Amino acid sequence: MLANRYQLKQLIGSGGMGEVFLANDILLGGIPVAVKFLTKTVINNKMQQDFAREALMSAALSQKSIHIVRAYDYGVNEKGKPYYVMEYLCGKSLKDLIPLPLDIFLTLCRQICLGLQCAHQGINIDGQICPLVHRDIKPANILVIPDPILGQLVKILDFGIARFLNYASTASTSSGFNGTLPYCSPEQLDGEKLDSRSDIYSLGVMMFEMLTGKKPWQPETDYFGAWYKAHQFEQPKAIADVKPTLKIPQKLNDLIMACLAKKPCDRPQNIAQILQVLNSLEESNCPSIPTTLASSSNFSRPFDSGLPITLEQSCRKLLWPENKPIQEIVFPQLLNTAQGAITALWLMLSKQEIKNYAVSTRYNRFMFITSPHPMLLWVTVLYNRQLPPKWLPCYLDMQKSPKS
């Protein structure tokens, strides 16, 4: 039992930063959580205060972005080992999924960037904006979990921990380097003060590996000196040379190489610049969104459903379900009509949006996932040339009644 609250169950992971245990939060009815014990020992009050600050910043940050693992609690055990308590997530490490096809690469990369952007923009601590730099971006610190809306949801692990460990290594008597050598920026290896561009360099290494399954350099040894030489002086290999069968857009190749620039000033200066390129690539790589859209003159009536006239007339006589709130919501429901039972997606929009999308084109995409349990997901897009698309995601949990 940890802190008279967390009942440790089993070891579920270990690495350079520490060990992770599955535990039950007894105070909250035994819900599962993940407890991470760090490798360093807190040796004085100053280190404990710094750890508490990093933990608070990490916890606050995790409330701002869905792409950062949520931190709930922190502390130091009786042996001086600091620990984090985080949400327990069932998923796979990115390191076990690479290399990736281009479409999945773009989806996951964009989510990683959104999480990093949130951290780099900073959080408000006592009236002061404090940006966070991760300092250890690598595939092992990216978790990918099934999600009914996004299909695959990215969670970045260990925000705040890397900075504390860097401090702890210099504050303790046993100093040493903290970081993962293949992903470290040149300035990190030199012990310089880091900003968001150091994470961008690590992101570049990881993007290269996500596509090719290899790193941009292959030094003869894994010692510090060999990796220092590679990062500081050797140019990264070309993606085309590492994986000749891989065909990627030139814009993506240029982006990755720019992230791997030796000097921070030669890299993209912020995550927004990377997202701009990824978004343009994702749009051009998505065949499910038509490039030419029918004009509104093709529709004989608003919200043309494509159903037989008699069936649509039956649907128009239906009343809003009494058990559903009068607000902007989307939900699935079975309809019993004279023609038989049909599935329907019910939604309520504001009066202005009803007016805006009265004549629109609609697209539907259905997906079925089996983990963590069977669910049917569908996304409907309402599109009007003059307006941005309106996305209506909805899912049906197969463990529950279709009417729920």
Summarised one tens digit per residue, pLDDT across range 3-28 is 999 999 999 988 767 789 999 999 98
Band of pLDDT at residue 52, cut at 50, 70 and 90: confident
Token code pair at residue 97: 């999924």
pTM equals 0.69
The pLDDT assigned to 371 comes to: 61
Mean pLDDT value of segment 357-368: 72
- Asked whether residue 290 carries a pLDDT value surpassing 50, the answer given is no
The DSSP bridge partners found for residue 74 are: 84
The pLDDT assigned to 149 comes to: 66
The pLDDT assigned to 323 comes to: 82
Binding residues: 36
DSSP letters for 67-93: TBPPEEEEEE-TTS-EEEEEE----EE
pLDDT digits 0-9 by tens, 139-150: 999 999 987 667
Band of pLDDT at residue 264, cut at 50, 70 and 90: very high
The pLDDT assigned to 303 comes to: 43
Please state the domain extents for the chain: 6-284, 296-397
Token code pair at residue 103: 């479409």
Listed in sequence order, the residues at least 6 apart from 68 whose beta carbon sits closer than 8 Å to its beta carbon are 61, 62, 115, 118, 119, 155, 156, 159
pLDDT digits 0-9 by tens, 314-354: 777 788 888 888 777 777 777 777 767 777 778 787 777 77
Confirm whether 103 is a catalytic residue: no
Per annotation, catalytic residue among 50, 73, 136, 158 = 136
CB atoms within 10 A of CB 221: 8
Listed in sequence order, the residues at least 6 apart from 258 whose beta carbon sits closer than 8 Å to its beta carbon are 204, 266, 267, 268
Please say whether the beta carbons of 6 and 31 come within 8 A: no
pLDDT averaged over every residue in the chain: 82
- Asked whether residue 165 carries a pLDDT value surpassing 70, the answer given is no
The pLDDT assigned to 242 comes to: 97
- Asked whether residue 357 carries a pLDDT value surpassing 80, the answer given is no
The pLDDT assigned to 292 comes to: 33
Helix axes 196-212, 271-284, angle to 10 degrees: 30
Higher-pLDDT residue of 285 and 200 is: 200
- Asked whether residue 204 carries a pLDDT value surpassing 70, the answer given is yes
- Asked whether residue 289 carries a pLDDT value surpassing 50, the answer given is no
Torsion of CA 210, 155, 18, 231, to 10 degrees: 40
C-alpha 197: how far from chain center:
19
The pLDDT assigned to 15 comes to: 74
Q: Worst-scoring range by mean pLDDT, 97-111, 131-145, 176-190?
A: 176-190
pLDDT digits 0-9 by tens, 75-118: 888 888 889 898 999 899 999 999 999 989 999 999 999 999 99
Angstrom CA distances, 224 to 119, 190, 339, stand at 28, 11, 72
Tell whether omega for the bond before 99 is within 30 degrees of 0, i.e. cis.
yes
Distance CA 167, CA 25 (A): 30
Mean pLDDT value of segment 364-384: 72
Element containing residue 201 per DSSP (H, E):
helix 196-212
The pLDDT assigned to 349 comes to: 78
**Which of 100-104, 176-180, 301-305, 387-391 reaches the highest mean pLDDT?**
100-104
Higher-pLDDT residue of 186 and 298 is: 186
Band of pLDDT at residue 395, cut at 50, 70 and 90: low
DSSP letters for 97-108: T-S--HHHHHHH
Token code pair at residue 377: 């997901």
Distance CA 47, CA 169 (A): 11
Element containing residue 50 per DSSP (H, E):
helix 45-62
The pLDDT assigned to 213 comes to: 97
Higher-pLDDT residue of 392 and 304 is: 392
CATH architecture of 6-284: Orthogonal Bundle (1.10)
Distance CA 216, CA 205 (A): 7
